[in-house]
Structure 1
Amino acid sequence: MAERLSVTGPDHGPWASVWATAQQTQPVQRRGRYVPESLAHPARMLPAIAAHAIAAYTRHGDIVLDPMCGIGTTVVEAMHAGRDGVGVEYEARWADLADANIRHTLAAGVLGRGMAVRGDGTRLTAMLPQHLHGQVSLVVTSPPYGPTVHGHVRPSKGGVAKSSHTYGDPDADRGNLAFQSQGQLVEAFTQILRGCRVLLKPGGVAVITARPYRVGGDLIDLPSAVISAGLDAGLTPVERCVALLAGVRDGRLIARPSFFQLNAVRRARQAGVPLHLIVHEDVLVLANPHPDGQLRLPASLSARTPETPS
């Protein structure tokens, strides 16, 4: 897929709503910055997406929170940017990797601090210390897309073998959001955002990445569900941006699809269904109103003069 595109952002002139966050592939973005075991996580946020959000909506010394932090991408990027990162992760395996990535980042001599807590993101206010309530400037997170994701492939006899393509054990732990129905997921995510609102400063911002996905051929509009969850949690939508999952070269998109996405699109087209490759994430930006109900945004959002991500 190659489309003409005019991109603006920290490397492309005035700030705008299209984020050029995949100029480098995910492995290149993580190389040396994260422990190698991080690649095992089945659904990692691009580091450049977290870094872009942190540069756009915070200043040095601010606190950044990810209530579903996985291997700690948001926390690590906050630390590199001179912010303090706080992460919460439900699965022990990923919480341990988040800890490892935080230690790796501290060893690099960064200015920011970081911490990861293992626990249920729907219980944020009970888990995190009281002194953080009302002190967080930015939340950056993404809800799960279901129990299975693309993961990794390698050639095997008769085809390919998949690895790192699931979350935890659905039979052992039904509390994992990845195994909930869409309705249960939205309800739980609303609860998470309610906790985020308690932790956010008045005027603080939540940046949530999501995209529509298909289940049994049906399109699930996750971005709209996230907006509804935010509204129910008392947050106010203020921006809707696009974070590219494709590179931009000479005004054209260079798609970087997974093997599974390419295979699914090819099969759909062979069946006469005009699917296209996914080349972006929706970025939903919501703000926490002040106690009087007024929405007074911080200078980092209203002035639109972000720092350049490190």
Structure 2
Amino acid sequence: MAEVTTSVWATGQQPSRVQRKGRYVRESMRHPGKMLPSIAARVIETYTEPGELVVDPMCGIGTTLVEAAHLGRHAAGVEYEEKWARLAVANLGHARQQGATGFGRVMAGDSRHIARLLPDLLGRAALVLTSPPYGAATHGHIRSTRDTGEPGVRKWNQRYSADRENLAHQQLPHLLEGFGRILDGCAELLRPGGVAAITVRPYRVRGELVDLPGHVHQLAEKAGLVFADRIVCLLCGLGDGRLLNRASFFQLHEARKAWARGTPIHAIAHEDLLVFRRLPSASATGQADVWPMHARRRSGQYSQAPLIPGDGQ
């Protein structure tokens, strides 16, 4: 297994849309909070070996699962919103058509109960890779006056969900309580010595910086996971001795307004990757370093074209 040799990864050399073009189905762009494929691939390649199991409890359109499949790992994901779960299935099928050798499984459900949703995977995962939501509405896609010549800003694809039970709708205390429950369950899915990697960045509410990485760090340790590393995953590009800006319109807009008020804030240009390990100990489920896919194919939940259990196909 590769060792981390630096605390900074240049994962923003290409914009997200370029990283996804042709690798994901076009409808994937509707999701407002996608993980950067280059981050997912780098984490999976660093912390797992081919044939091992990767789990994402909040898988969205399946970025973690797709990158795992392309790298010859097997993957399981849970997604609260069925519309995103179905897109994750479509992206896994697309990956198989492109030659990905890993298998994937997607379940639509509430990951606050993930240990009950995936009881057959307890103690088997080599890696849990995920990211928490940042609120009910994100920036999504926008057209500003600069683009249209018309006053105002038009937004679309900026919402995770209309379901008020979705964690994305919760205020910070409830969001953290729910994400803590998810991490508790994920700790049960990890094999001894397995890795939990969480990508998260601070964000601003009415100009105030919310230290979401710090909160997540505390939640992971409360779940019994041991802190192993912090890696800065650049969202900007590096080239010709300068940074290539990838900040969104709203990030730059908020920074400019703050500077005009005399508050010199800067646009965030990185994700924190927080890495934790489950302490090595005897596993209640026995040794299972490699996911025995063929032993479970009879259930219908694993296949060449992965399905959402219960979708009738």
Q: TM-score, normalised by structure 2?
A: 0.85
- What CA distance in whole angstroms lies between the structure 2 residues aligned with 1:48 and 1:178? 24
The match for 2:280 is: 290
The match for 1:137 is: 126
Identity %: 52
Distance 1:117 1:185, change over 3 A: same
Structure 2 residue identity aligned to 1:200 = L
Select 2:78's aligned residue among 73, 88, 94: 88
- What CA distance in whole angstroms lies between the structure 1 residues aligned with 2:197 and 2:157? 26
Distance 1:292 1:104, change over 3 A: closer
The match for 1:266 is: 256
- The size of the alignment, in residue pairs, is 277
Select 1:161's aligned residue among 129, 133, 154: 154
The match for 2:303 is: none
- What CA distance in whole angstroms lies between the structure 1 residues aligned with 2:187 and 2:142? 39
The match for 1:150 is: 139
Uncovered stretches (5+) of structure 2, i.e. residues with no partner? 284-313
- For the 8 Å contact 2:192–2:282, the answer to whether it is kept is no
Select 2:22's aligned residue among 1, 10, 32: 32
Deviation at 1:251, TM superposition (A): 4.0
Select 2:7's aligned residue among 8, 17, 20: 17
- Asked if 1:280 corresponds to 2:270, the answer is yes
Deviation at 1:129, TM superposition (A): 3.8
Does 234-243 or 209-218 show the bigger shift?
209-218
Select 2:102's aligned residue among 88, 98, 112: 112
Select 1:189's aligned residue among 170, 173, 179: 179
RMSD over aligned CA atoms reads 1.6
Structure 2 residue identity aligned to 1:90 = Y
Q: Secondary structure at the residue paired with 1:214?
A: strand
The one-character-per-residue Cα deviations of 1:101-130 (angstroms, maximum 9, x if unpaired) are 011111112111111110001111111142
The one-character-per-residue Cα deviations of 1:70-90 (angstroms, maximum 9, x if unpaired) are 000000000000000111100
Q: TM-score, normalised by structure 1?
A: 0.86
Structure 2 residue identity aligned to 1:164 = N
Deviation at 1:277, TM superposition (A): 1.6
The one-character-per-residue Cα deviations of 1:184-228 (angstroms, maximum 9, x if unpaired) are 111111111111111101000011011111112222110010011
The match for 1:55 is: 45
- What CA distance in whole angstroms lies between the structure 2 residues aligned with 1:156 and 1:168? 30
- For the 8 Å contact 2:112–2:179, the answer to whether it is kept is yes
Deviation at 1:292, TM superposition (A): 6.9
Structure 2 residue identity aligned to 1:135 = R
Deviation at 1:156, TM superposition (A): 7.3
- What CA distance in whole angstroms lies between the structure 2 residues aligned with 1:32 and 1:153? 22
- What CA distance in whole angstroms lies between the structure 2 residues aligned with 1:260 and 1:216? 12
- What CA distance in whole angstroms lies between the structure 2 residues aligned with 1:159 and 1:203? 51
Q: Secondary structure at the residue paired with 1:65?
A: strand
Q: Secondary structure at the residue paired with 1:159?
A: coil
Structure 2 residue identity aligned to 1:239 = D
- For the 8 Å contact 1:255–1:277, the answer to whether it is kept is no
